[in-house]
Each structure stands twice: as structure tokens, then as C-alpha cells.
């Protein structure tokens, strides 16, 4: 596929066109400072969309990411209250570890018990949310209870960009290497493309899925701390429904829900597309209540477009049978 026809190029073009359209009326929106702010605001979605992409590539889905994020966030916030002296590095480590464990639970259920991923993560999603309520007794952790160091980390600037943005950038780079340069990356594509063939080439399908969930969980844990410290509040319902945004970002970015197709650049662009819309609506003067409907329409359009683009590939022997399957 030539680079001009690639899904990522088209999506990047769509984002640029969107930005240009906004710029004609509101030039301030495309100032470098504001674009950096939009990127920073979209960073949590980018992190989670990457994790979701890896899981979807293996023919699974992770609906528990937002609940994982919220639970990890609550844990770090409560740890911060209990031990205000705990350094941020330790908190980060704990957050990633907690998220990883939750991801592993999903992965084990999918791998060892062969339970469909949508059922597993639907269940763990409600369980994680419930646990937040149990440990916090339904109370909020507010800004004044958190230590300054806890809140300062994602905002700390390095070379003009906040830490949150840097973490997103580094993660994107790491994922690029992971997906295109490592055996695990190849295995993820192989498992999603054709699980049976993957087995014959010596790839352990279950173990690869377990790895995918572990990665997704680790990212959700990391984002959990960043989310809570950035918004300086933790409660049961933070990031409610965000799991669908991560799926939406991946799908808009051209990741096939059937597995095996998708790229890091696509997922990042999908997240940025949603991020630009979210940040542009109030600027353009459209009620934020439109956002949900617009992202819904974007998902449908993107998936319809992707299906059209993918149709020419492969040999179709029996046309009707193909569409029925």
C-alpha cells in the first residue's frame, strides 16, 4: 500500500483539514501553545488507546481499562494521604504494578480459562469499580488532601512540555519499537490475523493475549496516577465510560475489531482526532453536549470507511458467503 493511500495518512489529513477549518475562524486554536495543550489533554487517551490497540490486535477487547485507571488512581491518592512523604517515583512504580496485576487477572482468565474477553473484562470492570467504593467508602479524595509533590508531577515542565505529554511521547516511541521490531509485536499481529496459523508457527496464542492484557493493564495503572494527580481529585466514577473512548480511538485509527490489523500511528491519530474535536467544540461555540454524538458518528464513519478500504484485499470466491460470515 502506498503511503498516500494508507489509512494513517488519510486520518492525518482529516485532522489537518479539521484544524485548518477551525483556524479560518479561530486562529488562536492552532497556535503552538494551544496545540501542545490539546496534545497534553489527549495524552491519557493516547496511552490507553495504545494498550487497547494491542489487546484488540489479538482479537480481544479490554473494557476494564477505565475501571482499572480509576482503582489505581484511588489507591495512589489514598497512599498519598496515608504516607505524604512517599516519593513520586515510588507512587509511579506502585501505580504501574497495580495496573499490571489487574491486567494480568484479565489475561489469566482469558488465557487459562478460555473465557471470552468481552465477558471477562465486563465482569472485572464492575468488580474494579466496586472495589474503589469499598476502599474509599464512597468518599472523594480532594485536592487539599493530596501533597503538592503528588499534584505537581504531571505538570512539571521539561523543555517546554509537561511531564504528561513527555510520558505519552516516550510511550508512543516505545510502542513503535515494540510493535514493529520485537518478537512479541509480530506475535500480536499473528495471533489476531489467524490464531490457528499462529499456533502452527509456534506462537502461544493464550500467552500472547496474556501479555497484551498485561501491557494494557500497566498503561491503565500509569494513567490512573497521572489522571488523579492532574485533575487533583479521585472518586468512584472518574473516567466513567472512558473504556469506550479508547475503543473508539483505536477503531477510528483503523484498528480492525476482528484483530490483526492496525498500527501505533493509527491509534495515536485516532486518539488525537477525538482530542481535537473535544477541545475544539467549546472554542467553536458548539455546546459540549454535541461531543458524544459527534464521536459516535465518527466511529461509524471510520469503521464504514475502513471496511470499504479493506474490501479490495484478498480473493473473494463466493461474494455472498463472504458478507454472511
Catalog residues that contact other proteins under the rule CB under 8 A: 61, 109, 113-116, 118-120, 122-127, 129-131, 133-134, 138, 205-206, 236, 244, 247-248, 251, 257-258, 287, 289-300, 303-304, 307, 320-321, 323-325
Q: How far apart are CA 12 and CA 18, in angstroms?
A: 10
We find the least distance from the C-beta atom of residue 305 to other proteins, in angstroms, to be 10
Question: What are the E-state strand segments in 102-188?
Answer: 157-158, 161-162
Residue closer to other proteins by CB (options 154, 266) is: 266
Residue closer to other proteins by CB (options 205, 238) is: 205
Nearest Cα neighbor of 314 from 265, 256, 263 is: 256
Compute the residue count for the chain: 325
We find the least distance from the C-beta atom of residue 87 to other proteins, in angstroms, to be 32
Residue closer to other proteins by CB (options 110, 163) is: 110
We find the least distance from the C-beta atom of residue 303 to other proteins, in angstroms, to be 5
We find the least distance from the C-beta atom of residue 251 to other proteins, in angstroms, to be 6
Residue closer to other proteins by CB (options 90, 304) is: 304
We find the least distance from the C-beta atom of residue 232 to other proteins, in angstroms, to be 23
Contacts of 225 (CB under 8 A, 6+ apart): 72, 73, 76, 91, 92, 95
- The C-alpha cell that represents 271 in the structure block: 486518539
- Give me the sign of the Cα torsion angle 21, 23, 26, 28: positive
Nearest Cα neighbor of 228 from 83, 80, 40 is: 80
Amino acid at each position: 500500500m502506498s503511503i498516500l493511500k494508507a489509512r494513517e495518512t488519510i486520518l492525518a489529513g482529516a485532522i489537518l483539514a479539521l484544524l485548518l477549518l477551525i483556524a479560518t475562524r479561530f486562529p488562536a486554536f492552532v497556535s503552538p501553545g494551544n496545540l501542545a495543550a490539546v496534545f497534553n489533554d489527549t495524552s491519557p487517551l493516547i496511552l490507553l488507546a495504545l494498550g487497547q490497540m494491542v489487546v484488540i490486535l489479538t482479537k480481544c477487547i479490554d473494557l476494564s481499562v477505565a475501571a482499572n485507571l480509576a482503582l489505581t488512581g484511588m489507591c495512589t491518592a489514598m497512599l498519598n494521604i496515608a504516607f505524604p512523604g512517599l516519593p513520586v517515583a515510588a507512587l509511579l512504580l506502585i501505580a504501574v504494578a497495580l495496573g499490571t496485576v489487574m491486567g494480568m487477572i484479565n489475561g489469566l482468565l482469558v488465557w487459562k480459562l478460555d473465557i471470552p474477553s468481552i465477558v471477562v473484562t465486563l465482569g472485572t470492570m464492575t468488580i474494579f469499580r466496586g472495589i474503589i467504593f469499598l476502599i474509599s467508602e464512597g468518599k472523594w479524595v480532594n485536592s487539599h488532601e493530596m501533597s503538592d509533590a503528588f499534584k505537581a508531577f504531571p505538570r512539571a515542565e521539561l523543555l517546554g512540555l509537561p511531564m504528561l505529554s513527555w510520558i505519552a511521547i516516550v510511550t508512543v516511541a516505545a510502542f513503535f519499537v515494540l510493535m514493529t521490531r520485537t518478537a512479541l509485536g509480530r506475535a500480536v499481529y499473528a495471533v489476531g490475523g489467524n490464531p490457528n496459523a499462529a499456533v502452527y508457527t509456534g506462537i502461544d496464542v493464550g500467552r500472547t493475549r496474556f501479555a497484551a492484557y498485561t501491557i494494557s493493564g500497566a498503561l491503565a495503572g500509569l494513567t490512573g496516577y497521572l489522571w488523579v494527580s492532574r485533575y487533583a481529585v479521585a472518586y468512584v466514577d472518574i473516567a466513567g465510560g472512558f473504556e469506550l473512548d479508547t475503543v473508539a480511538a483505536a477503531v477510528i485509527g483503523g484498528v480492525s475489531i476482528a484483530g490483526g490489523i492496525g498500527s501505533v500511528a493509527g491509534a495515536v491519530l485516532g486518539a488525537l482526532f477525538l482530542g481535537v474535536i473535544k477541545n475544539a467544540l467549546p472554542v467553536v461555540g458548539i455546546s459540549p453536549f454535541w461531543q458524544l454524538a459527534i464521536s459516535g458518528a465518527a466511529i461509524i464513519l471510520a469503521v464504514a470507511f475502513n471496511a470499504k478500504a479493506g474490501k479490495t484485499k484478498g480473493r473473494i470466491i463466493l461474494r455472498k458467503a463472504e458478507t454472511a460470515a
